[in-house]
Amino acid sequence: MRVEVGPDLDSFRTAARGLLARGVSPEQVLFTEEGSGQGSLLAPAVVPASAPVAGLSVPPAFLELAQKVACHRSPERWGLLYRVLWRLTHGERKLLEVESDADVYRVLTLAKGVQRDAHKMKAFVRFRRVEREGEEFFIAWHRPEHFIVRYVAPFFARRFPSMRWSILTPDASVSWDLEQLTYGPGVPRSQAPEGDALEEMWRTYYASTFNPARLNVRAMRAEMPKKHWATLPETRLIPELVRQAPQRTSRMVSPKLELSESSRFMPEHQDLASLAQAAQGCRACPLHERATRTVFGEGPAGARLMLVGEQPGDQEDRVGRPFIGPAGQLLDTVLAAVGLEREQLYVTNAVKHFGWVEGEEKQRLHAKPGRSEVLACKGWLDAEVAQVRPKMILCLGATAAQAFLGPGFRINLSRGQIFETPWAKAWMATFHPSALLRMPDERARAQARIHFEADLRRAADTLRALG
Ligand code: SF4
């Protein structure tokens, strides 16, 4: 009997249920895939949909494996899955524990192949920004080995919930419209948009974090297969970085601080107390003119986690301590929820003076610092990092992240991802808590809060893993 199934697990599940109900053994059935062009002299049999088979129960481990195996490109997968299912339901309930069994071994091998492919897709998808009717979209083209778009898409929806994106592959495509995932047909590479500013950001980031001391070309090629290089902007740098490796190794072993305007005000001894005192006299950018005082970072030298915000707010400017206003209170609540104690962290801002404009009721309204002010103040931030030497840096908001990685960094695109950087073993960016407080839409605010907490939880877990 020939049975035609769709390319997804649901279609197989319906067919398998019908076959089991009719007692059709694996030797009696040949599975083919709709539209696969697999010819046969046999006309496909229509397996009637069946009610659940009485007494039939399948171990959860099989369902988990079947989800992965269904994504594999191998045409044998449906027959293999049915054979294992048949055996599990005909007296071999513990079959999956026998890894030396030929069917079990094959199922595990296919599942591992899919898992590996999914891992590569999560690591190697690079979005490009496009604008349509004034709205921002992000599009990526990727060539997975297997049919994993539906399997991996929920990961990207969780990772990038607040941007509209599409991932195109030769077999299928998926789009996220901020609310739901929609699947479509495959798209050839020629229809995916070409480079933009994001590529530049990836290249800058990759060049700044590329660690020549650990250069291992074979391992790098194994981890980053050549077939993905066409869609990875950073790979264009690899030949040049490999050529420069010996020279760059010595640079990374003794890193230099970038010279910024504030360097002129640095004290001779750069312990945290001396730095904080010297920063009170900083005049490296115009922000000091309207602020009450410099708000320097606070926390123990040797803190394992450093939090970097944008700039002090109205209350911080009056009191002289970072993150004590409404945003600081929200931060404290979430830190406590994920098991991080603020007293053990070093908390600072990318810019140390409060920038503001006057509101209609003469209140002082936050004004985002410009790039020149961030660069001018970077000397203080670098000095704090050098003194604290945190295992992990968590940037709150785009301004803080861009102080490290440049203006191409986007919170929506790279929030929650852990990077290894020259400043700390682990580096991550997330929303600024004040951005959450400012969101007018209640639903968006609630969603952002969930992501903010998840990111901080991930930071806490990472910190624990770093030992
Ligand atoms: S914002 Fe930073 S660079 Fe500008 S004056 Fe204040 S401390 Fe100096």
Q: What is the pLDDT of residues 204-217, one digit of tens each?
A: 544 544 454 444 55
First to last CA, the chain: 58
Distance from the alpha carbon of residue 130 to the mean position of ligand 1, in angstroms: 35
Q: Is the dihedral of CA 143, 148, 150, 154 positive or negative?
A: negative
Distance from the alpha carbon of residue 164 to the mean position of ligand 1, in angstroms: 36
Reference 183, options 173, 191, 192; nearest CA is 173
Q: Which of 380, 381, 382, 384 to mutate to test the pocket of ligand 1 (most atoms within 8 A of CB)?
A: 380
Q: What is the SS3 string spanning 162-185? A: CCCEEEECCCEEEEECCCCEEEEE
285 with 380: CB under 8 angstroms?
Answer: no
Distance from the alpha carbon of residue 282 to the mean position of ligand 1, in angstroms: 6
3-state secondary structure of 40: coil
Q: Whose CA is nearest to atom 2 of ligand 1?
A: 377
Write down the pLDDT at residue 222. Answer: 56
Q: Which of 285, 293, 296, 399 to mutate to test the pocket of ligand 1 (most atoms within 8 A of CB)?
A: 285
| Cα 257 from Cα 243, distance rounded (Å) | 24
Q: Which residues contact 175 (CB under 8 A, 6 or more apart)?
A: 164, 165, 166, 181, 182, 184
Distance from the alpha carbon of residue 379 to the mean position of ligand 1, in angstroms: 9
Reference 290, options 274, 266, 314; nearest CA is 314
Distance from the alpha carbon of residue 425 to the mean position of ligand 1, in angstroms: 27
> Which residues does a 6 A CB cutoff place in the pocket of ligand 1?
262, 279, 282-285, 287-288, 294, 351-353, 373, 376-377, 380
Q: Whose CA is nearest to atom 6 of ligand 1?
A: 353
Distance from the alpha carbon of residue 332 to the mean position of ligand 1, in angstroms: 26
The pTM score is 0.56
Distance from the alpha carbon of residue 427 to the mean position of ligand 1, in angstroms: 24
- Work out whether strand 172-176 and strand 181-185 pair parallel, antiparallel, or are unpaired: antiparallel
Write down the pLDDT at residue 228. Answer: 57
Q: Which of 259, 277, 283, 287 to mutate to test the pocket of ligand 1 (most atoms within 8 A of CB)?
A: 287
Burial annotation 199-230 (CB, 10 A radius, 16+ → b, else e): bebbbbbbeebbebeeeeeeeeeeebeeebee
Write down the pLDDT at residue 212. Answer: 47
Q: Which of 353, 366, 372, 384 to mutate to test the pocket of ligand 1 (most atoms within 8 A of CB)?
A: 353
Burial annotation 95-107 (CB, 10 A radius, 16+ → b, else e): bbeeeebebbebb
Reference 328, options 403, 444, 459, 436; nearest CA is 436
- Pick out the chain residues at pLDDT < 50: 37-42, 197-198, 201-202, 205-206, 208-210, 212-215, 245-258
| Cα 380 from Cα 463, distance rounded (Å) | 24
| Cα 15 from Cα 203, distance rounded (Å) | 48
Write down the pLDDT at residue 407. Answer: 82
142: region left, alpha or beta (phi > 0 left; psi from -120 to 50 alpha): beta
Reference 260, options 388, 380, 401; nearest CA is 380
Distance from the alpha carbon of residue 293 to the mean position of ligand 1, in angstroms: 10
